[in-house]
Each structure stands twice: as C-alpha cells, then as structure tokens.
Amino acid sequence: MPDFVLYALVGGVGVAVVMGATGVFVVWRRMAYFGDTLAHSALLGVAIGFLLGINVNIGIVGVCLTIAIGMVYLRSQRHLAEDTLLGILAHSSLALGLVSVSFVSALRIDLMTYLFGDILAVTPTDIGWVYGGGTITLGVLAWLWKDLVAITVHEDLARTEGVNVLRTQIAFMTLFALVIAMAMKIVGILLVTALLIIPAAAARRFSRTPEQMAVFAAIAGSMAVALGLQGSLLWDLPSGPAIVVAAALIYLVSITLPARRSA
Amino acid sequence: MPNHSLPRGEVLVQGAGIGVRHGRRTILQDVDFEVQRGEIVTLIGPNGSGKTTLVRTLLELESPETGTVKRKTGIRVGYTPQQLSIDRTLPLDVRRFLEMTGETEAEKLTAMLEDVGAPRLLNQEIRLLSGGEQKRVLLARALLRDPDLLILDEPTANVDVDGQIEFYDLIRRIRNERNCGILLVSHDLHLVMSATDRVVCLNGHVCCSGLPGDVSTDPAYLELFGEAASAVAVYAHDHDHHHA
C-alpha cells in the first residue's frame, strides 16, 4: 500500500470515528441544518486563516465558534424562525468565504479541495491534527455525555435536576467546530454534514442504547471511508463524494437488514 | 417517610409580585403564589394564561422581570413536564430514562414504577409508551429524587376521565405518604379534585383562589371561563383519611 493511501485511510478512519460519535447528537437534536451552517462558514475561516497568516484550522474553529455563538444569540432574540436564520447565516457566510478567498487567490487556494475535500492529500501532520484533536474531542464528549443525553431528552427537566445546560451546550458547540475543522480536509465543506448524519442514521436500527448507537455510527463511518477510498482508487472517483456515496449505500443496506428487536 | 417529621405548612416556594414579559407581551403581572409542605395546590387557567410561565419561574428556569421567587434552601424539587418529545432516532428505554436521576438499582426502579401504577415498563422503549404511561414514568422519575416539592405540569392532559380520577387518587396518596407539597397545573376544568387544598385561577394575574368549591362559584372565575365553568365537576373522593 502506498504511503498516501495509508495516510488517507488512517486519517479518514480517525475523522469518521469522531464524526460518528458526534453525529448521533446532530441527529437526536435535529441539528442537521445547523451543522450545514457551521460547515459553510468554515470557508470563511480558511480565508481568514490565510489573510492573517495563521493556521487554517484555527481560523476555521474561530469562525465556526463565532457563528455558533451568534446563532444562539440571534435565536434568543426571536425575530426570525430558526430555519430562516440558519439559511441566512449559512449562505451569507459561504458567500463571504468565497469572496474572501478570491482576495487571497494569489496564494492559490484550491477551492475544490476545501469544498469537496482531498483525502488523498492527507499528510502525517494532518493525521497529527486529526488524532490530537480527535482524542480531545472524544474525551470531552465522554465527559459531557451524560448531561448531553439528559438535555437531549428534555432540557427543562435536566436543568431542574441540576444539569448546567448552558455550559454543556457551549462545550458541545466548541466540539462541533473542532470536528468540522477536522473533517473538512477529508470530505470538504459541502459534504461534512453527510458524514455526521448518514452513519448515525444507519446505526439507529441496530442500537438499543445511546452509547451503542454512537459506537455503531463510528463503525459505519469508518466503513464508508474505507469503501469510498477503495472506490476512489479503483475507479478514479473524487474521494470526498465517493465516501459519502459509500455512506449512503451503507445506510440503504442498514434499512433492508432486520432490526434488532428491543428487549 | 422522613419528611413526616417536618412541619406541614412550611413554605417551600414563594413568589411575590412576579411579572414576566416575553417581548412586548405581558405574560404575568404581579402574581403572588406559594406552595406549602403537605398541601396540594391546583393552578388552573385558560390556554395562554401564563400557567407554564409561572411554573418555569418557580422552577427557576426563567427569572421574572419584577418580583422575587424564594425557594426554601436545601429542598429537592421534582418536576414533570407536559410531555416528552424525544426524537425517534434516540434509542432510550424507561430504565435508562429513570437512571438519569442517579438511581440505578433495578429493584428500586421497578418498585417505583409499580408505585405509580406503571409496572412492567422498565425495558420498554420510551417513545412507544402511551400518553398515560408516559405521565406515570415522568412521575416516577420525579419521585425518585425524593422531592419535598412536586410540580406537575398538566399531568392529566390526554388522559381519559377514569384515568384522571385514578391519577388524582395517586397524587393524593403521594402527598399523604410523603408529606411533600404538590403543585398541579391544569387547563382542564372538567375535573378538579376535591383533594386539592387550594385552587388558584390564573389569567396573567391571580383571578381568584381558594377551596375548589368556593372558586367554582367565584364571579371572577365564572367570567373567565364563561360557558365552560358550568361544566366543572368537583370529584369527591371517599374520605378515607384524616388531616391532622
């Protein structure tokens, strides 16, 4: 196996595991569109990273966090319906990102790489970012897990039982921003949400507890990465879309298999 | 029950002059409200009268713009929300739902479910429960915290009349056994149980309050509910116990 394929596989599986474990909450909390909005805003982070001459990943995390906090604030003002608000933020931040990137085109940002990902260009440094960030993300997720599940089930009930809802939500937003920064390299901005949602959806019918579903989602995501990568090498497919197609196929297979019967 | 050593009539939560606005809309204005240990207070009022907002301020989920909410320090509060809307993609059985209170012993969880009249539900998927079963499971979760104050938001909505009578009997028994204070919220005028010590009728402000029988003939109450008021039935239970 050539090095670049190994790097792609190792990096991709790392991202898929983190995305599976995070993605279940995106599905349970109906945050798919919110995830999309954050992913769209990531391009602006790339541009800002280049313009300021800082690490692009830091630019992405910064912009995603700003958008997430802005979203929480605007929602509390209750001027607009949530999906309208997300639509405004998603499209204006993507457009702003594209405009900003054109300013730094002298630096030859490969736009397609950011939009659709380029897993075959993963370097050992990227793998370091993925596994470093991934370990932190999974650690924080494990620490937040109980409270996050509790507020997903019922926010007010969790709060009256002593869960610090605001702290938990802010911590989760931060994780979310980190995950998107990590995932962009692999599948690209436009397909990030797919890898958060599709493996989680595929895991649903085989899971009896929230934890099982997170583990199965991580496995389904890793399988999608391996299969997509294989397809990409065999038939010279664009790697990001190939991974998403593989995830969709895994989902289709999952709904035809018999579900686990509940006890 | 340890609570029995505590005095009845001890004020558990008290709101004074509560005012809440959402945007430009006034939801609550100058509301005084309290729940004491050992009493069952029923809060009634039409939809949009601010019942849920009042409950949220008493639970300290929302802070009032004017007035104060004082909760006796150290008391435990049990709360059952109107309904659960758990996404159907979240796999969660009753056991796991109840374990969120910190109590994980299967025997205790089963005993509590039996106590609220929902036996054999421990391993059921929570989103497949009927409305009535869900209410009982919510009550079990609240009781597992051994509350001094129990706040039940519309516990009998979508439950048939027989079920409501049964539920009211259950709540009365809980009060007698645990000597906790209970606040019941209802928009349902058709059945106000006689075990209620006090009925508070809310419509942005406290219209009237008192014994169920007195409130149902109060002019302010009759004006607020109009036609519907005549349909109120006060459910008289058998007097099988005595209050000290």
Residue B34, pLDDT above cutoff 70: yes
Q: Measure CB to CB from residue A156 to each of B81, B92, B96 and give the nearest one.
A: B81
**Which of the residues B57, B75, B100, B144 would you substitute to probe the A interface, choosing the one with the greatest number of A C-beta atoms within 10 Å?**
B100
Q: How many CA atoms lie within 13 A of B221 on its CB side?
A: 21
Domain at B2-76+147-235, CATH from 3.50.50.60, 3.30.60.50, 3.40.50.300, 3.30.2130.30: 3.40.50.300
Q: Measure CB to CB from residue B91 to each of A156, A160, A210 and give the nearest one.
A: A210
pLDDT of residue A15: 93
User: What is the pLDDT averaged over residues B101-124?
Assistant: 87
pLDDT of residue B239: 47
CA distances (Å), B121 to each of B42, B126, B128, in order?
Answer: 29, 9, 11
In whole numbers, what is the pLDDT of chain A averaged over residues? 87
Contact criterion met (CB < 8 Å) for B89 and A78: no
Distance in Å, alpha carbon of A204 to nearest chain B alpha carbon: 6
Q: Are A45 and A64 in contact (CB under 8 A)?
A: yes
Nearest CA in chain B to A145: B100
User: What is the pLDDT averaged over residues A69-83?
Assistant: 76
Question: pTM score, two decimals?
Answer: 0.84
| Structure-token match 């909005």, residue found | A37
Instruction: Tell which wins on pLDDT, A102 or A91.
Output: A91
User: What is the pLDDT averaged over residues A86-95?
Assistant: 86
pLDDT band for position B1 (50/70/90)? very low
Contact criterion met (CB < 8 Å) for A28 and B91: no
CA–CA separation, B234 vs B192, rounded Å? 5
pLDDT of residue A263: 43
Residue B208, pLDDT above cutoff 60: yes
Assign residue B31 a region: left if phi > 0, alpha if psi is -120 to 50, beta otherwise? Answer: beta
pLDDT of residue B39: 92
Q: Which residues on adjacent β-strands are paired with residue B71?
A: B13
Distance of CA A261 to the CA centre of its chain: 30
pLDDT in tens, B75-100: 999 999 988 888 889 999 999 999 98
pLDDT of residue B230: 54
pLDDT of residue A78: 67
CA–CA separation, A157 vs B203, rounded Å? 25
CA–CA separation, B111 vs B118, rounded Å? 10
Q: Is B84 on the interface with A (CB under 8 A)?
A: yes
Nearest CA in chain A to B121: A263
Give the lowest-confidence range in A95-109, A232-246, B111-125: A95-109
Nearest CA in chain B to A260: B91
Residue B180's nearest CA partner among B72, B40, B79 is B40
Residues of A with CB under 8 A from a CB of B: 27-30, 78, 146, 149-150, 152-154, 156-161, 200-201, 204, 207-210, 212-213, 262-263
Residue A76, pLDDT above cutoff 80: no
User: What is the pLDDT averaged over residues B14-41?
Assistant: 89
Domain boundaries, chain A: 3-256
Extract the tokens encoding B140. 């079990």
pLDDT of residue A2: 81
Extract the tokens encoding A226. 């391996």
Residue B5, pLDDT above cutoff 50: yes
**Which of the residues B58, B83, B92, B152 would you substitute to probe the A interface, choosing the one with the greatest number of A C-beta atoms within 10 Å?**
B92
User: What is the pLDDT averaged over residues A33-47?
Assistant: 86
Q: Is B71 on the interface with A (CB under 8 A)?
A: no
CA–CA separation, A128 vs A188, rounded Å? 18
pLDDT of residue A85: 84
Contact criterion met (CB < 8 Å) for A262 and B56: no
Residue A136, pLDDT above cutoff 80: yes
**Which of the residues A153, A213, A215 would you substitute to probe the B interface, choosing the one with the greatest number of B C-beta atoms within 10 Å?**
A153
pLDDT band for position A154 (50/70/90)? very high
Give the lowest-confidence range in A209-218, A253-262, B81-90, B110-119: A253-262
User: What is the pLDDT averaged over residues A80-103?
Assistant: 84
Q: Is B90 on the interface with A (CB under 8 A)?
A: yes
pLDDT band for position B54 (50/70/90)? very high
pLDDT of residue B229: 57
Residue A72, pLDDT above cutoff 80: no
pLDDT of residue A97: 86
Most confident option among A28-42, A147-161, B6-20:
A147-161
User: What is the pLDDT averaged over residues A16-45?
Assistant: 90
Q: Kindly report the CATH class assigned to A3-256.
A: mainly alpha
Q: Measure CB to CB from residue B89 to each of A158, A160, A204 and give the nearest one.
A: A204
Domain boundaries, chain B: 2-76+147-235, 84-145
Phi, psi values for residue B27, rounded to 5° = -95, -45
pLDDT of residue A12: 92
